[in-house]
Amino acid sequence: MTDHPATPPTSEAGLPFSKLPLSPAMLACLQQLGYQTMTPIQAASLPVALSGRDLIAQAKTGSGKTAAFGLALLNRLNPQDFAVQAMVLCPTRELADQVTQEIRRLARFQENIKVLPLCGGSAMRNQITSLENGVHIVVGTPGRIMDHMERGSIKLDALNTLVLDEADRMLDMGFHDDIAYVAKRCPKERQTLLFSATYPEGIAQLARQFLRQPEEVKLLEQHAESKIRQRFYEVEKEQRLPAVVSLLKHYRPVSTLAFCNTKQQCRDLVNTLRHAGIHALTLNGDLEQRERDQVLIQFANRSCSVLVATDVAARGLDIADLEAVINVDVTPDPEIHIHRIGRTGRGDQDGWALSLCSPGDRRRVATIAQAMNCQLEIHDLATLDNSDDSPLVPPMVTLQILGGRKDKIRPGDILGALTGEAGFTREQVGKITVTDQSSYVAIARACGRDAVRKLGAGKVKGKTVKVRILTD
């Protein structure tokens, strides 16, 4: 996984860095790098970061977040003290390498500032030697940094800045507990900066745990309603459930959240979808916690096409990229409607908000249009193209590994087992979730059986494990 900054931020309209309390040497360095003015996220977050306050900053990929924290931690750095003064946690080795390079560029204004990447896949011994020789800034993945902490090869007494970069991605990859381990062992008196491209509920939770009265900076201009394409389709009440099938076959979204107003309707819709060969699961209050976890895991890692839920069941759902939200019923409350459809079209993705309404719902649709201050068109279901009758198949399948946190299994162990001896590529492996008793990993659907066989025959963290494909 790499982080491609698609287009460098356009910053013509931004303010000059000289507005900030930065040293002349640093300003000259920025000039040299061709950074004429601040990008919007830099303009919004640097004054806070430089003031020493904790910060949550949200802006899309490629918006210049690295310099936003890089300048803050460099500004505070004492180059004479060869001790780790700042630590940046990143989700992957590639991202850690990119951040290391950017910080090194920004550090050129000063002689001899040591920035060290600490990721898996490089020899531990070399990293330990570098740490012994003195390092100012470490940038790494939570797992490897944890390893160094456990061995005592990294000292954090002088640490004054902790950065969680791409925090949403780190949570996606199952790093919550590793982040917690590291953060709890950092000095209490420190500044914590959290950067993220999206803002799912998990981020708020993380911030409550490890940040102190953070200032929040969000640049949402890219997430505006225009990213959500909204369409209403008129259909007689009794035709709603088959109409959902038609919508799915026409739009063919990878992940869809379908809202029903009642539990009974949820059950009926799941049955209708399954009859049509669509992989659907439902969330309802009758599920045990473990079952609920499994449903959410399968949906979030793209091995289930449609999640059917009521508003209550979907509360607090932490799912980032949804291609579509389908409202099987129009809600009478426009606030709820807006909240429902806000779950699609996040980040860089466009999203569809598709709603079914019966002729009797026109008033509700009008209320929503008024609340959203826009014109809502009502389309005819007959305009949908259902000629592509190939089944809608989720790209991934979930493997359940019997063994989890209690067995000291970490996401990296599973990724290692799959990409090591088992011979799968990083691209074939999806989201990894480790719970107390079990671990779950998404793998490209075509590799599912092969992966069960190879993982079952091999070892995870030196132990043989039981593996199965999770169905429902």
56 to 75, contacts with Mg ion by CB under 5 A?
Answer: 65
Residue 434 CA to residue 131 CA, distance in Å, equals: 30
Give the closest residue to 402 by CA, choosing from 431, 435, 430, 424: 435
Least separation in angstroms between CB 267 and Mg ion? 43
Residue 84 CA to residue 167 CA, distance in Å, equals: 21
Residue 276 CA to residue 390 CA, distance in Å, equals: 11
Least separation in angstroms between CB 216 and ligand ADP? 16
State the DSSP code for 7: S
Q: Are 173 and 114 in contact (CB under 8 A)?
A: no
Least separation in angstroms between CB 61 and ligand ADP? 4
Q: Which residues contact 150 (CB under 8 A, 6 or more apart)?
A: none
344 to 403, contacts with Mg ion by CB under 5 A?
Answer: none
8 to 67, contacts with Mg ion by CB under 5 A?
Answer: 65
Tokens, residue 162: 């902790």
Q: Are 265 and 308 in contact (CB under 8 A)?
A: no
Closest residue to Mg ion using C-beta atoms: 65
* Size, binding site for Mg ion by CB under 5 A: 1
Residue 101 binding partner per list ligand ADP, Mg ion, none, with a CB distance cut-off of 5 to 8 Å that depends on partner kind: none
Beta-sheet pairing, 396-402 with 466-469 = antiparallel
- Cβ-based nearer residue to Mg ion, 101 or 261: 101
Under the phi-then-psi rule, with left for phi > 0, alpha for psi from -120 to 50, and beta for the rest, what region is 373? left
Least separation in angstroms between CB 78 and Mg ion? 25
Beta-sheet pairing, 256-259 with 280-282 = unpaired
Residue 222 binding partner per list Mg ion, ligand ADP, none, with a CB distance cut-off of 5 to 8 Å that depends on partner kind: none
- What residues form DSSP beta bridges with 353? 230, 325
Beta-sheet pairing, 438-444 with 429-434 = antiparallel
Residue 327 binding partner per list ligand ADP, Mg ion, none, with a CB distance cut-off of 5 to 8 Å that depends on partner kind: none
Residue 9 binding partner per list Mg ion, ligand ADP, none, with a CB distance cut-off of 5 to 8 Å that depends on partner kind: ligand ADP
Residues in the site for ligand ADP, rule: CB under 6 A?
3, 5, 8-9, 11, 35, 38-39, 42, 61-67, 102
Least separation in angstroms between CB 64 and ligand ADP? 3
308 to 347, contacts with Mg ion by CB under 5 A?
Answer: none
- Cβ-based nearer residue to ligand ADP, 218 or 362: 218
- Cβ-based nearer residue to ligand ADP, 57 or 455: 57
Residue 11 binding partner per list ligand ADP, Mg ion, none, with a CB distance cut-off of 5 to 8 Å that depends on partner kind: ligand ADP
Rg over alpha carbons for the chain, rounded to the nearest Å, is 24
- Cβ-based nearer residue to ligand ADP, 199 or 424: 199
- Cβ-based nearer residue to ligand ADP, 6 or 224: 6
253 to 292, contacts with Mg ion by CB under 5 A?
Answer: none
Q: Are 41 and 219 in contact (CB under 8 A)?
A: yes
Residue 120 binding partner per list Mg ion, ligand ADP, none, with a CB distance cut-off of 5 to 8 Å that depends on partner kind: none
Contact positions vs Mg ion (CB under 5 A): 65
